[in-house]
Structure 1
């Protein structure tokens, strides 16, 4: 009997100590462009304390709703967020800046396009690479899904919207292929010599080529000087009085250590 009591006490003690070690869970969801960077920040943060950071890439629109409705402690958006999208009980702040790279297959001879040429490609007015000095090959324009923060920022910056009955709608051609994340666009462009897509600058790697826009390279330095104009903020949203564990993670992101992690991974720190 005593052995059973001792075993029960030991099991309970182990359970309680494990719960203490595990700490709290901080839920983060939203923009797929921010997700990769947030996962890195979460990993470095978790090395220092016991809280667990749960990150989900659900899209900017979903991240805004999650922050507003309280279904996530922290929401992520890769486009500016209007005050009326959140309500009075939610705060927002910029954690980093990111460029949007216009990328093509490594085999594509085109190295530079003007803003007007990129815009015409996405409206469908330019539909063959020969029209911009490339090979005689039909262009495969690739875009993000409606509601994507990357797409929203790209449309705003490039003037790819139009008015119908006083309602702002996309001007991107219905013939453009739609992909649901940076990774999907990278894969498609990397494997299709005729493709062009737009992705987070921090996601660019050797599998595809970022074009110059108006003769300016898509680099961190050129975004900081304003010479490369296709850039957008990475926005975080949380309750005005978040849970302590969420506030501690936010404080880490905005600290000099967190901002250095952001800079080390190709994004632009804000502090």
Structure 2
């Protein structure tokens, strides 16, 4: 080999080594978990975050079928955002094991996971639990189906084949079940909330939600379920659903307030010791720009925009009269019913989303268009226990939120509790108590 050739080889090896060294030294933000979140939502929001904090040369790579990497540089320093699609359970375990900084989860950690991750800190705290987006499922039928609503127990009997004719439910004709083939986010939620281990009846399978709703539009006896992100068109309509409480339609307000029983949050979880960049990303997802990125990715954001007065109000007369001329904000403030830090005391009386929603209410009311407007705060209680206790509890919840808002300079005209007269779920479980014990905020 000549000297020139040898020098060229040496330079090439040096450059390759430097490149490899830079790759090894690149800081990583490791985000592992839910396939649904990893498919589009988290990569899209992560790209927006990188741009907004000054990173350049952002490019997306796919080293493997379940791994997405975002490569970027800022001030000559490389960064890789590693997004590994697996499952909510695997993502959480990776954080526990130290193999990920953030877990993507379509649910909260269960008791066993909280026990395994005790060293992570208080995972119900708004410093470690980040509600990133909302998701939901619509149960849809042909537009000519006369059935208006179903309870979860009825729906489970239909989907499992125990009820095979619409006439048993006030409709007409044989029931035909339609489903999207394979694992999908809509089925995950129906499995968890409705089926509870019951098997599905034989179904006509479809490649995706679009194919399913097109088939339903031509099947008067059909029923199926799709994510609320799926347009269903004029030939199909959603059913109003009840989980032992008031039957609720999948409207925008019911979805954003999580009053609709087949809605859920997409969460990010991190440990107390998560790095600065990881925490920056998690906090960004809940900011206005982060929520705009959530919406651009095709998911439901929690950005606070004007709601509306529902055409039909349910509940006691004093509640209906109180809010009759008001506009409801599209949220329901809920509370932290668990404390899993060392003291066993919750870091905040509010749940992690409510902490952020209070900030959103303040920002919303400070907009010029809302100058001079006042707030109504209405509290609700769980149905378990005496009516007197429920009324007292709902009043306490309403007063708590009202004082919080007034301390931040917002005008609250009334704060009132209406007890357990408008339940969203049948009492008897912690999940039902969490849904029922809520506070609505209305604007005059």
TM over 0.5: yes
Q: Cα deviations across residues 206-230 of structure 1 (Å, max 9, x unaligned)? A: 5795613147442332223454232
Spell out the pairing of 1:136-175 with structure 2 (5 A cutoff).
136-140=173-177, 142=179, 153-155=189-191, 157-158=193-194, 160-161=195-196, 170=197, 172-175=198-201
CA distance in 1, matches of 2:103, 2:174: 41
Q: 1:73 to 1:118 in 2, by over 3 A?
A: same
Higher mean alpha-carbon deviation, 34-43 vs 192-201, is at: 192-201
CA distance in 2, matches of 1:252, 1:18: 31
SS in 2 for 1:268: coil
Bigger CA radius of gyration:
2
Q: Is the 8 A contact 1:122 1:141 kept in 2?
A: no
1:186 equivalent among 198, 209, 214: 209
Q: CA deviation at 1:77?
A: 1.4
Segments of structure 1 that go 5 or more residues without pairing to the other structure are 162-169
CA distance in 2, matches of 1:79, 1:135: 37
Q: CA deviation at 1:93?
A: 0.9
Spell out the pairing of 1:40-51 with structure 2 (5 A cutoff).
40-47=44-51, 48-49=54-55, 50=72, 51=79
CA distance in 1, matches of 2:91, 2:181: 16
1:166 equivalent in structure 2: none
Count of aligned pairs between the two proteins: 255
Q: CA deviation at 1:177?
A: 5.8
1:98 equivalent in structure 2: 134
Larger RCO: Structure 1 or Structure 2 (Cα < 8 Å, ≥ 6 residues apart)?
1
SS in 2 for 1:67: helix
CA distance in 2, matches of 1:252, 1:137: 49
CA distance in 1, matches of 2:96, 2:202: 32
Segments of structure 2 that go 5 or more residues without pairing to the other structure are 56-71, 73-78, 242-246, 303-352, 357-444
2:321 equivalent in structure 1: none
Spell out the pairing of 1:1-271 with structure 2 (5 A cutoff).
1=3, 4-5=6-7, 8-9=10-11, 12-13=14-15, 16=18, 20=22, 23-35=26-38, 36-47=40-51, 48-49=54-55, 50=72, 51-86=79-114, 87-90=117-120, 91=123, 92-104=128-140, 109-110=144-145, 112-116=148-152, 117-129=154-166, 131-132=168-169, 136-140=173-177, 142=179, 153-155=189-191, 157-158=193-194, 160-161=195-196, 170=197, 172-175=198-201, 186=209, 189-190=212-213, 192-193=215-216, 196-201=223-228, 203-206=229-232, 209=236, 211-214=238-241, 216-264=248-296, 265-269=298-302, 270=353, 271=356
Q: Cα deviations across residues 106-147 of structure 1 (Å, max 9, x unaligned)? A: x5634843224423223432224555566634422548989x
Q: CA deviation at 1:200?
A: 3.8
Q: Is the 8 A contact 1:77 1:149 kept in 2?
A: no
Please tell me the root mean square deviation across aligned C-alpha atoms, in Å: 4.0
Q: CA deviation at 1:25?
A: 3.8
Q: CA deviation at 1:59?
A: 2.6
Q: CA deviation at 1:199?
A: 4.3
Q: CA deviation at 1:231?
A: 1.6
CA distance in 2, matches of 1:225, 1:252: 21
CA distance in 1, matches of 2:119, 2:136: 31
CA distance in 1, matches of 2:95, 2:144: 44
CA distance in 1, matches of 2:224, 2:33: 21
| TM-score, normalised relative to structure 1 | 0.70
